[in-house]
Amino acid sequence: MDLSETARPRRVGRRRGLARHLTAVPVAAGVAVALVASGVALVAVTRARGADGPTAGPGTTSASGVAAPGPAATDPTTGDPTAIVPTAAAPPSGTAAANGKPTRGGAVRKAGTDAPTTKRAAARPGAASTASAAGTTPKGTPVARWGRLMVCGARLGPADGTVVQLRGVSSMWLNWDDDHYAESLAQLRFMRDSWGITVVRAAMGVEPGGAYLSDPATARKQVERIVENATKTGVYVIVDYHAHEATSNRAAAQSFFAAMAKKYGSRPNVLWETFNEPLAVSWKDTLKPYHQAVLASIRTHDPDNVVILGTPTWSQDVDQAAASPVKGKNLMYTLHFYSCTHGADLRAKADRARAAGLPLFITEWGASNADGGLDGAVCESAATAWLNWAKKYRISWTAWKLDDCTDSTCLLTPGTTTAQNWNTRLHGHATFVVRRIASG
């Protein structure tokens, strides 16, 4: 269905069944600001990798053709093996996925481990006692390399002025992720090492039945498991309040983010997304006051982690936010696109916002129609134009969605489990997504 950029009907129901990458250009802080101000694009020259290189996912075959040992027991919730012996890297270039296309180029690399490196987090007012988890980051991982991120001008990066672009995947609405893909520690480590992801987005459903408003304990438990796994694997994690009408219950959002910031605000790998996709509501009169209130709840416990603010009309009207941004530090603004539907007109709107100095983060996108790809169509050339644009301006992204279904945005083939090698289960736009995680 060809939808306008101001109308994005959503499939509200259970949908069954992505990856992230960080690149950087080391520049001095003052130079980075000058480059941002002048609009000069920075070219990525380095790429973050996992601990010591890829580790084998469940069912992975080693370079010698020997399958990785299977687990003796599994986690009753996620299906994760209780112990996995890393044996091999991702399949080499040309390995066929389920759809017969290469999963990703690149040589087989040595399997690695999550050997910890200790970093003491700065003391935060009201921060919970999570020193052991917050203070240990696996060596060689994105978080070990870059630490806590900040916003400088319109760019994202660590305090030394390096400019980074995070690339990764989003979960499905967690209330419909009954296969627990996003909660799998083994598969998060596999996606980091094999696909190269550096960020994962935890899309906590809010309004539907079984989501946060009706079952807050379960929803929080899911998010907390993903945050803990991201900390263990040294990747960044976006805690996403996945709602369309959050302004109708602002108190619930404030309560959620206050509690989460108190518990996780001291961790350098956590980013907050306060409102996934607002409807066509006023930025100045409705959304901005909402974000100001929720931001205040976060900043009581977490004074400096990055906060990403949703924008009007399914997070497309970023120009409205640029005309009246929220005051504060380390703030970014959400931009979403689906390439079969959204094209040059939406990019022009984003360019106006970017030229005004608004920091953008694409927390959700698909190489599909705006309904998530119910017809199965993949518009790769149109998505290439979008991702080339994002690469040019170092705009970070997470692709929709870590799920198994027939929608073209479902990354996994129907019936996929957390015990399988996901490189053999890619579906829809997944092959393109994994390839662009590697290349930008």
32 pLDDT higher than 80:
no
Does the domain at 25-67+85-439 match CATH 3.20.20.80? Answer given as yes
Least confident of 131-135, 387-391, 422-426: 131-135
DSSP 201-223: EEEEE-SSTTSTTT-HHHHHHHH
Confidence band for 76, pLDDT divided at 50, 70 and 90: low
Q: What is the pLDDT of residues 380-412, one digit of tens each?
A: 999 999 999 999 999 999 999 999 999 999 999
Q: What is the pLDDT of residues 314-355, one digit of tens each?
A: 999 999 999 999 999 999 999 999 999 999 999 999 999 999
77 pLDDT higher than 50:
yes
**Mean pLDDT rounded to a whole number for the chain:** 78
Q: What is the pLDDT of residues 182-238, one digit of tens each?
A: 999 999 999 999 999 999 999 999 999 999 999 999 999 999 999 999 999 999 999
pTM score of the predicted model: 0.76
Span 135-162, mean pLDDT?
93
Q: What is the pLDDT of residue 137?
A: 87
Span 48-55, mean pLDDT?
38
DSSP 218-277: HHHHHHHHHHHHHHHHT-EEEEEEE-S-GGGGHHHHHHHHHHHHHHHTT-TTEEEES-S-
Q: Where are the domains of the chain?
A: 25-67+85-439
What percent of the chain shows pLDDT beyond 90? 69
Spatial CB neighbours of 319, under 8 Å, sequence gap ≥ 6: 349, 350, 352, 353, 356
Q: What is the pLDDT of residue 115?
A: 53
Q: What is the pLDDT of residue 75?
A: 55
Spatial CB neighbours of 278, under 8 Å, sequence gap ≥ 6: 244, 246, 247, 286, 287, 310, 311, 312, 313, 314, 315
Q: What is the pLDDT of residue 26?
A: 35
124 pLDDT higher than 80:
no
Structural contact between residues 163 and 23, judged by C-beta atoms closer than 8 angstroms = no
Q: List active site positions.
A: 277, 364
Name 338's bridge partners: 366
Span 254-269, mean pLDDT?
98
Backbone phi, psi, residue 408, to 5°: -70, -15
